Structure 1
Amino acid sequence: MPQSDNQSQSSLNTPIVLTIAGSDSGGGAGIQADIKAISATGGYACSVITAITSQNTQGVSAILPVPVEHVESQLDAVFSDLDIVAVKIGMLADSNIIAAVARKLRQYQPRFVVLDPVMVATSGDLLLQSAAIDSLQRELLPLATLITPNLPEAAALTGLPLCEQESQLEAMSAALRALPCQAVLLKGGHLPGTSHSDDWLLSGADTAVFRAQRVDTQNTHGTGCTLSSAIACYLAQGFTLQDAIRHAKHYISRAIAHADELDVGRGHGPVHHFFALSPIPSSQLESL
């Protein structure tokens, strides 16, 4: 059946966003969270998987990097066919995969690149070795529209101590401004002892602050993946960087606030990506 004019116009207005990241078998983070977030915020998600993790709400038990040649073939497949407006990058397993992703981004030149530097596990363990972190800084940061490190990741990127109080943020911000990327969104969710969660956009000499109230929940798995994917999706829809971050911050805050409506796993559960969708009442299901 041919599309109506309205249907055609709607499809043209749906931006395609690519996520390059690892797979989370538990569904709360990584590629799975990215696809949910992009879909929930108005985009069409496609994906390139860089690693396969054995993972649930209680932790990661194994990581299997995808062979570099297959990462490259996935990138060629999506870029050669789909009109990708924005790219979100998450977990990159090693230096070879980082270099391959950088080569393909230089080849295809997407309009926006949001890099979430997944380098530090919740336990504090480094997920990338120092050589891979150097490769990330050298190869990918210059291609990024925005990078979105949390406080432990910012410490790994800059070599500075982990910020544990707001008085340390000035030195951290100065070091982040020196990185070879267009802008940095420093996420302050790990800062202890505050009733709010601030993120700081560092762009040139300017700083913008995005604030949300903290939510008392243990179900925060996938927050970084979700926020960066939402930012990429809003950029693809034509919002300015500040507006894209503002909308994405509002979205992740609501997804966290609704997280306890889900009952997933026995550890740190996921945020509620589709909080805006109401379930069909059982009385209506019976009539379908």
Structure 2
Amino acid sequence: MVRSVPETSSHATALWLLAGLDPTGGAGLLRDTFTAAACAPNVPVARLVTAWTRQGHGRPATSEPRPVDAVVRELRSMPSPRAIKIGLLPAGLVEAVLGEVASRRVPVVVDPVLAASDGGDLGARGDILRDCLRDMSEETWLVTPNRREAAALTGSTEDDPELVQRTADALGRAGILLKSAVDDEQRVRDIACLPGQVHVFERPRVAGPDPRGTGCALATAIACGLAQGRHMLASISAAVAWLDVARTRCVPGVDGRVHLPERAPPLT
């Protein structure tokens, strides 16, 4: 049985988006913002930059994390959340940010950004993120790694047949959504391992180029569903379907890569 979204205070007003700022808009906080505008247009959004990043044009990414005390002060001044989406967390911010988030007792979606698609160093550490998630996460949390991120979080390999279970075991009470869990050029298989059940989202692979920011967008779309009061599994299902449609509407980005559209379809 899937645990329902916990009741939140009547004063809970906003969807929190915490992520690095990628000025190209292909990924990170700007991509999250575009996604939230499409998927939860009636939910106020509160944003927080965790790091200033420089990426795109095929160059290795670099990142400048924000000071911990500044981030914590800003978190404590934000409106009460309905749901929270977390993207890039540089290593020095992980414990403080997750501690603040855990105290809010609302649904949380963590996209465990550990590296940029063009390489480089974003300042993230898989072992630190894993250990803090193991200690702080709740059953109303969801972590959304791809196979490479899951392997980094568990110390395993991308082709490990037990990767789903190893990832679930490593991350404490949180549910997981392992994206593209099987290497298949024709079909996509995402596996959700939630409290009490496992669900497989299998469908034909969307033809065309692979845009930047799909992980950011999917996690944000799930958080949008949660902020609107949907249960976790329903939020995942709607977000997976939404992303498949958005991928058919890609546009050229200013960084020379293909991006998801800024004006994406609504979440259904």
Q: Deviations over 1:117-175 (max 9, x none)?
A: 1113335667456xx33321222343251000000000001111112xxxx43x11221
Partner amino acid, structure 2, of 1:271: L
| 1:190-205 alignment runs, 5 A limit | 191-204=182-195
Q: CA deviation at 1:210?
A: 1.1
Q: How many Å separate the matches in 2 of 1:125 and 1:212?
A: 32
TM-score (norm 2): 0.84
> Does 1:44 pair with 2:44?
yes
Equivalent pair of 2:61/2:118 in contact (CA under 8 Å): no
Q: Deviations over 1:159-204 (max 9, x none)?
A: 11112xxxx43x1122122120321100017x54331212100124
Equivalent pair of 2:245/2:265 in contact (CA under 8 Å): no
- Structure 1 moving runs of 4+ over 4 Å: 123-129
Aligned Cα RMSD in Å?
Answer: 2.5
Q: How many Å separate the matches in 2 of 1:276 and 1:207?
A: 28
Equivalent pair of 1:25/1:56 in contact (CA under 8 Å): no
Highest Rg: 1 or 2?
Answer: 1
Structure 1 gaps of 5+ residues are 1-11, 278-288
Equivalenced residues, count: 251
> Does 1:177 pair with 2:168?
yes
> Does 1:250 pair with 2:241?
yes
Aligned residue among 240, 260, 265 for 2:254: 265
Aligned residue among 102, 113, 137 for 1:143: 137
Q: How many Å separate the matches in 2 of 1:247 and 1:65?
A: 32
Equivalent pair of 1:29/1:222 in contact (CA under 8 Å): yes
Structure 2 gaps of 5+ residues are 1-9
Q: Deviations over 1:39-90 (max 9, x none)?
A: 1111332111110011235344431111111111221121xxx231101111
Q: CA deviation at 1:227?
A: 0.2
TM-score (norm 1): 0.79
Q: 1:286 matched to which residue of 2? A: none
Q: CA deviation at 1:230?
A: 0.5
Q: Deviations over 1:14-35 (max 9, x none)?
A: 9621011100110111000111
Equivalent pair of 1:26/1:57 in contact (CA under 8 Å): no
* C-alpha distance 31-213 of structure 1, shift in aligned 2 (>3 A): same
- Percent identity reads 29
**Which structure ranks higher in relative contact order (CA pairs < 8 Å, sequence separation ≥ 6)?**
2
